[in-house]
Amino acid sequence: MTGERPPASIRFRDALLVTQDPDRRLLRGDLVVEDGRIRSVGAPSEGPTEETVDARGFAIVPGFVNTHGHVAMTLLRGIADDRDLGAFLERLFALDARRTETDIEAGAALGIAEMLLGGTTSFLDLYYGEDAVARAVDSLGIRGFLGWAVLDPELTTQKGHPVENARGFLGRWANHPLVTPLVAPQGVYVCSRETWLGAKELAEKSGTLLHYHLSETRKEVHDHERKTGLRPPHWLESIGALGPHQVAAHGVWLTRAEIELLARHGVGISHCPNSNLKLATGGVCPVPELREAGGVVGLGTDSAASNNSLSMLREMHAAGLLQKHQKWDAAVLPAQVLLDLATIEGAKLLNTSGELGSLEPGKRADFSLFRLDHPSLAPARPEAIVSHLAYSASDEAVDSVYVGGRCVVRHRELTARPWQSIRTEAEAAAEALWRP
């Protein structure tokens, strides 16, 4: 990665620390980072550090973990608005064949810039051409968990066999410090039994996550039931496809039996409230029921073509309001749980809770500095900070962002590449895609 060299050690002095540790402590004190990891949290720190940051006017918050998206589609923001999922996908599939490595990378850089400026430090992606996305991840300094889209060969615009394309991608990006490659069967509507099991076998042999769409719309569920006699989760179980280290996006149309089935197999769910609301999927992801059954739930933005924002602050807000309204219960998914879904629970979904999601000694130094003097965080009282983050905070309150101890956003400026160059390349790449 280009950009600023990370200091060997940094002391953030006198910050409000939103730790997200097991006790969810809020502390006033110092945060010390050494060699890309957190050395101490809250306690008075001793010994010299290479850099000291006066953080008295800031809250330090663990980096958000966006657990579902298609970042390269950021170039398509607004191109298929006010359509249901079927019509939306018809428009997007028509554009797939026209996409190039150049515009995929430009779209990914555009989306990554938006996420970093909003305090997201890790994201889970599902797309093809993920090598281009990986290059954007490497250049801008975010953590990318990148799933190569796998579907039946006759249904894809990919050259070659999608499972073998995924295998090659895993090999090319193995052991990269920021890129975690993985396998991503698109969904039951485009994956046969052979394709799905091939993807699962590849993921298991490679030790990667498996990421896919599941039960997003009532039509998807009913069509699959008519075709196979089984609803999608039960069909996946019947072919031996369910298991741990899997993240299913959406999970809107799930029955009680399916909730318990997914929890029993250790399948996590990425809840994407804004995208589901905008595409009028009709149902509501049963987040409280999934959690009560022992399942892990994170938050995802989905793509900028369907959301149309990549803000995790907006996602927390929408998730809370949606569940409260649907359950007639103002106490369901309280602010602390919403922040959990955006941080430590998201890290659990990615099987990285030992490394990410909270401010604890030994974990990677991925976090954001929120300006406590920003209007959306006033009154800036410590006892209100979690509520403010869940319900009112604006992305513009994010001042600086660190990933692995490296400053990737400083005073709302990207450090690796200037925003204007990212925007210029994105606008040029979008021109061909938006042309009739």
Is 63:94 a contact under the CB 8 Å cutoff? no
* Calpha distance 367→405 (Å, rounded): 9
What is the rounded average pLDDT of the residues 134-139?
98
Sorted by sequence, the CB contacts under 8 Å of residue 166 that are 6+ apart come out as: 148, 150, 183, 184, 199, 202
Is 173:156 a contact under the CB 8 Å cutoff? no
Query: Taking 90 as the threshold, does the pLDDT of residue 436 lie above it?
Result: no
Query: Taking 60 as the threshold, does the pLDDT of residue 3 lie above it?
Result: no
Measured between alpha carbons, how far is residue 121 from residues 127, 137, 139, 313, 406 in Å? 19, 11, 14, 13, 11
What is the rounded average pLDDT of the residues 85-114?
88
Distance between the two ends of the chain, CA-based, in angstroms? 36
Q: What local confidence, expressed as pLDDT, does residue 97 receive?
A: 73
Domains recognised in the chain with CATH numbers: 9-62+363-419 (2.30.40.10), 64-349 (3.20.20.140)
Q: Residue 415: phi, psi to the nearest 5?
A: -95, -25
Strands 120-127 and 51-54: unpaired
Measured between alpha carbons, how far is residue 117 from residues 103, 407, 421 in Å? 21, 12, 16
Query: Taking 70 as the threshold, does the pLDDT of residue 45 lie above it?
Result: no
Residue-wise pLDDT tens digits, 379-391: 999 999 999 999 9
pLDDT band for position 277 (50/70/90)?
Answer: very high
Identity of the residue numbered 101: E
Q: What local confidence, expressed as pLDDT, does residue 89 receive?
A: 78
Q: Residue 18: phi, psi to the nearest 5?
A: -95, 90
What is the value of pTM for the model shown?
Answer: 0.97
Residue-wise pLDDT tens digits, 12-41: 999 999 999 999 999 999 999 999 999 999
Residue-wise pLDDT tens digits, 329-376: 999 999 999 999 999 999 999 999 999 999 999 999 999 999 999 999
Q: What local confidence, expressed as pLDDT, does residue 4 receive?
A: 60
Q: What local confidence, expressed as pLDDT, does residue 43 receive?
A: 81
Query: Taking 90 as the threshold, does the pLDDT of residue 403 lie above it?
Result: yes
Cα 107 to its chain centre, rounded Å, is 16
What is the rounded average pLDDT of the residues 166-190?
98
Sign of dihedral through CA atoms 422, 424, 429, 433? positive
pLDDT band for position 2 (50/70/90)?
Answer: low
Q: Where are the beta strands (DSSP E) in 317-405?
A: 367-371, 398-403
Quote the percentage of the chain above a pLDDT of 70: 99
* Calpha distance 197→366 (Å, rounded): 35
